[in-house]
A and B are shown apart, each in its own frame.
Chain A
């Protein structure tokens, strides 16, 4: 099953390598991993999307916690969380097709961030499934390239994500985030 894990770490040299190395060395799966500093510059927050059965998830959480630079691990799955992903996509857009593409982008609330004679770069933020759907719609026009950030997520509660119990998942579903986007 797919899990979204939030990991609060010291903003120090080599932390990302330690975490990525832990996943590869122990054969855990990473679907996506994002990292960036928080409002406290001494800490970074990672969001990792991974999959595995309960035993594997228990080990992932424990092995992450064992790293000296990991402050806290929170498995968001099952607890109600908001998740978003950002994509930049470059699509072929001959002058005759441009209007059509911009129209679809409008429906999806994607922004045109760069326009070239025969192509467009669109920026789109949303849930991963929406991004997949948007990619599908762009395919017929010809996708030149795209880049996705991977998921970032926060708990929906009024408190910091870290206040959730580490494994709050009671009866986790695939994705708790139901906000329209």
Chain B
């Protein structure tokens, strides 16, 4: 007779796929996400309502995507956003493309119509996997709720590892409803996905010997330094090797701008001295940047006489835009640590003298009179916040002035839509940043055009009590495009004027008031300082509408496709 079987422990009750997904997110450490409901996301929101995850409801899915992006940029953690199928999902597209271009780790979850309706042009059906394919690191369509733990584990792993980026999980409604065992631990089995993060000793020696032979070395530090968390190693490297550092716009904050070796940032609107140094050096050490066209202008003439060392974790960046004499695929922190073991200090006296001369003769500057210059507002803000705030601009002239006239000393202090250049980025991204770093002062500097592209997020800011400060540099123009019209199209205005009548339109302070957010108009130069003080002293969110005239161009400027020799200074 067979021995009596021991009664098995009662299996845990089955749960819905949607609930399992939410539990898997909790298991990944998600404590906050941005989610907008809808028919195909209903189950997910029902499950979220029973979870400890904080759900922030944006007022538009694009705002949710940018907020997740801002959350990730400010904290280095993975941002999560969620939308329903169809229009909910398509509204995320710009945010996904933005995260892809700037290598920001974001996990995007979308509801999908039930499997039996896929391909039928069902209500609110779009092939969102197909639509996002060129702008996403990877995507998953969930067909069986039992796959959810593995898919979530893999999505989070892919989003954050190597060169980070957005990853999507599209989950049909029937999969959300189907019952499944409540197992939250997933396995990552990605045999085709590998990241080379360590460099070899031989590669380190190759870099050292190029440095040894150089007379005029220069470092370009990109967003990769920040992603890698290598800013301390970079500083030690620059100091011990005595090499000047310029950053890309994405790399702003990777090297302290007050440092004597800092050249601030380079490119189309970068400093004169950064562009001159990068172009006239004989050894260019590019660490974690991708030779973007806004950095190089005409790439064939960029740093034409320099040996190029290109260090990147993404193999496809080496030789993509600029041929490298030495390409090294690894994590920035790894190679900098190894280089720092044996510093190779040379004095490069003539080179440093030359740079000092450029800095002296061509500093960042603007004409000061009794008008309110936008640059003056940023400078005053920097002074009153002691350079400690996290600055999140939209896209346009104000973005460039924010980068030029605020002084950035630490990574993740300047959060900007660099690659995609998405107007409307500032307000929602600042919102995400403030939620990620509640103790930091987060300031959205925006333009009147950009601000209006996601102005509805004032609703989220008020209801969720997110203490974001907002400054609109309101010149009643789409200033950057107008600037190009002035420079290259004889000032002929092609739909770049936002002005209606003689009074600024719309009245942002009144709009903020409608959302129950306090604000203040600033009309005169001597009101700027007290107004900023008032904004900083007020608890919670605050809006400053600063009325500047459209008079200023962002300078210096290297015209698109030009070289540093074409730099426009006035």
B-binding residues in A (CB < 8 A): 9-10, 13-14, 17-18, 21-22, 25, 55, 58-59, 62-63, 65-66, 68-72
Contacts and interface: CB of A to CB of B under 8 A. Distances in A.
Interface stretch (B127-135, B411-419, B470-478): B127-135
Given A66-B316, A68-B158, A18 B190 contact: no
Contact of B192 (A14, A59, A70): A70
Nearest to B192: A71
B524 interface: no
Contacts of B138: 68
A138 B408 CA distance: 73
Given A14-B141, A21-B133, A68 B191 contact: no
Classify the interface of chain A: helix, strand, loop or mixed: helix
A10 B158 CA distance: 16
B320 interface: yes
Given A9-B192, A71-B191, A25 B134 contact: yes
A46 to B, nearest CB: 13
B141 A13 contact: yes
Contact of A10 (B192, B316, B318): B192
Nearest to A69: B192
A70 B319 CA distance: 21
A59 B191 CA distance: 22
Given A68-B190, A68-B192, A70-B192, A18 B319 contact: no
Contacts of B193: 68
A17 B139 CA distance: 12
Contacts of A66: 314-316
Interface of B: 129-130, 133-134, 137-139, 141, 143, 158, 190-193, 314-316, 318-320
A22 B316 CA distance: 13
A59 B158 contact: no
A14 B314 contact: no
Contacts of A58: 319
Given A68-B137, A68-B138, A69-B192, A14 B129 contact: yes
A138 to B, nearest CB: 39
23 contacts: A10-B192, A13-B143, A14-B141, A17-B130, A17-B133, A18-B133, A21-B134, A22-B134, A55-B319, A58-B319, A59-B316, A62-B315, A62-B316, A65-B315, A65-B316, A66-B316, A68-B137, A68-B158, A68-B190, A68-B192, A68-B193, A71-B191, A71-B192
A120 to B, nearest CB: 38
B35 to A, nearest CB: 25
B142 to A, nearest CB: 11
A59 B322 CA distance: 12
Most buried by B among A25, A62, A65, A71: A62
Contacts of B130: 17
A8 to B, nearest CB: 8
A66 B190 CA distance: 13
A15 to B, nearest CB: 10
B313 to A, nearest CB: 11
A21 B141 CA distance: 17
